């Protein structure tokens, strides 16, 4: 076992990140130093691990040696509180057990009609945009759509104006939290961005608290995720506290709209750049659906559509990196990792590892045919993480993406209104400068 992990000098690493961005620089360092390398950025060492075996080490075989500790302090403090995405220990176990039934493959079907209804509204909007030839930012289009879906799934009684307002407030919180991950002014120093954050936070918390109080007073139980959270009881018969109901609601919105929106935006860019894939997708949709809207039952007859989604998640995972903090001495790819060291796993680069993916930069949904998937390393693909802390919403996300693609690609074939995007890491994987596209109706 080696104790010296290769990596660049801190000044060289910082300079590379400043010139190329974090995403591109970590790729260069991977190619230079190998599957495991150290980043020393002046605030403590971080280990970046790319090989699927390292993913297995951290997430499975040595999972008791890793947790979400100091690396998630900012997320806990400014955004999710004790919500599932950043909670730890016994609280995490309790909450995961309470919420898991909501997000099984069968459980998420309860929200399929919300997805279809919102997608149908976009069909009407896009028909007008196609007629006008107007350029839209596809990232924003998908953000609006997925925000509406997750907020209606959470709060089915919310008015359209509330959805727009909540979306804006939570995105303010997300942006502020992302900026706090890097160098920043102290919290006690009032700034416009801090005041905007505090206003947004108070508005979101107040809205959720009011909704909970209203439901408790009236006894109404709409069929939505908030009702399920309020009705959940642990093994001792105890419900979630009001603060946990609030934190889990914010967590589900944070985790459930931006990530799927990024996936769908990348899908439209990929289809525009790969006409053969688009033609095959359209042929499947035409053959199964004809001129009608899809239903959930149609999805089993649309396997290539799901393969397209999975290949988008391979090349452009919304979360290109995620961190686990060592809580005990551990070993990653033969290197000793000391307690307290953050280990950053890198789906973006694991999904491009040439030992596991032929022609890894080529967009090829056939990688996810049943035959192709059989012999693959289980951790060579981890867009939703893996192990016991795999994203609880992965089935919701796949259902949503599959349905949205089926509804919209049946009618439309958006085209780029500029060059293919350059992707960068801004909390999630994002197209630098936006994603301008024109909506085109299929003929």
Q: What is the pLDDT along the chain (443 residues), one digit of tens a residue?
A: 567 899 999 999 999 999 999 999 999 999 999 999 999 886 668 999 999 999 999 999 999 999 999 999 999 999 999 999 999 999 999 999 999 999 999 999 999 999 999 999 999 999 999 999 999 999 999 999 999 999 999 998 778 889 889 989 988 998 899 888 766 667 777 889 999 999 999 999 999 999 999 999 998 889 999 999 999 999 999 999 999 999 999 999 988 888 999 999 999 999 999 999 999 999 999 999 999 999 999 999 999 999 999 999 999 999 999 999 999 999 999 999 999 999 999 999 999 999 999 999 999 999 999 999 998 999 999 999 999 999 999 999 999 999 999 999 999 999 999 888 999 988 789 999 999 999 999 98
Torsion (CA) 242, 244, 246, 249 in degrees, nearest 10? -140
CA nearest 266: which of 440, 422, 427?
Answer: 422
Give the separation between CA 283 and CA 290, rounded to whole angstroms.
Answer: 10
CA nearest 30: which of 337, 352, 284, 285?
Answer: 352
pLDDT value at residue 257? 84
Q: How many other CB atoms are found less than 10 A from the CB of residue 339?
A: 11
Per this entry, what is the length of the chain?
Answer: 443
pLDDT value at residue 183? 64
Dig out the tokens for 90 from the structure: 């016994």
Give the separation between CA 243 and CA 229, rounded to whole angstroms.
Answer: 12
pLDDT value at residue 1? 53
């Amino acid at each position: 076992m080696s104790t010296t992990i290769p990596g660049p000098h801190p000044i060289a690493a910082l300079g590379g990140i400043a010139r190329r961005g974090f995403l591109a620089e970590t790729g260069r360092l991977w190619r230079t130093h190998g599957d495991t390398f150290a980043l020393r950025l002046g605030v403590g060492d971080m280990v970046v691990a790319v090989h699927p075996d390292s993913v297995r080490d951290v997430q499975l075989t040595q999972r008791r040696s890793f947790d979400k500790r100091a690396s998630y302090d900012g997320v806990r403090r400014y955004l999710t509180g004790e919500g599932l995405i950043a909670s730890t220990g016994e609280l995490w176990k309790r909450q995961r057990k309470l919420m898991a039934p909501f997000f099984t493959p069968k459980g998420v079907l309860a929200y399929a009609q919300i997805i279809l209804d919102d997608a149908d509204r976009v069909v009407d909007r896009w028909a007008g945009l196609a007629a006008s030839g107007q350029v839209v930012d596809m990232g924003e289009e998908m953000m609006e759509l997925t925000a509406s879906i997750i907020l209606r799934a959470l709060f089915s009684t919310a008015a359209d104006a509330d959805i727009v307002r909540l979306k804006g407030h939570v995105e303010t919180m997300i942006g502020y939290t992302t900026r706090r991950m890097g160098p920043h002014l102290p919290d006690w120093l009032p700034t416009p961005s801090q005041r905007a954050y505090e206003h947004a936070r108070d508005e979101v918390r107040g809205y959720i608290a009011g909704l909970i109080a209203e439901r408790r007073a009236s006894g109404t139980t709409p069929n939505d995720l908030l009702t399920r959270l309020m009705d959940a009881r642990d093994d001792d018969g105890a419900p979630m506290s009001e603060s946990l109901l609030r934190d889990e609601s914010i967590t589900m919105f944070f985790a459930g709209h931006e990530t799927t929106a990024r996936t769908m935006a990348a899908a439209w860019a990929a289809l525009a750049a790969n006409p053969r894939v688009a033609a095959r997708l359209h042929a499947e949709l035409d053959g199964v659906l004809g001129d009608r809207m899809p239903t959930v039952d149609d999805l089993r007859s649309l396997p290539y559509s799901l393969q397209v989604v999975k290949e988008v998640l391979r090349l452009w995972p919304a979360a290109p990196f995620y961190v686990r903090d060592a809580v005990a001495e551990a070993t990653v790819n033969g290197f000793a990792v000391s307690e307290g060291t953050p280990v950053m796993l890198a789906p973006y680069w694991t999904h491009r590892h040439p030992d596991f993916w032929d022609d890894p930069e080529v967009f090829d949904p056939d990688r996810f045919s049943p035959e192709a998937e059989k012999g693959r390393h289980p951790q060579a693909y981890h867009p939703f993480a893996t192990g016991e802390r795999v994203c609880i919403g992965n089935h919701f996300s796949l259902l949503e993406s599959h349905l949205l693609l089926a509804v919209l690609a049946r009618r439309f074939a958006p085209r780029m209104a500029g060059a293919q995007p350059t992707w960068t890491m801004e909390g999630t994987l994002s197209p630098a400068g936006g994603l301008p596209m024109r909506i085109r109706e299929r003929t």
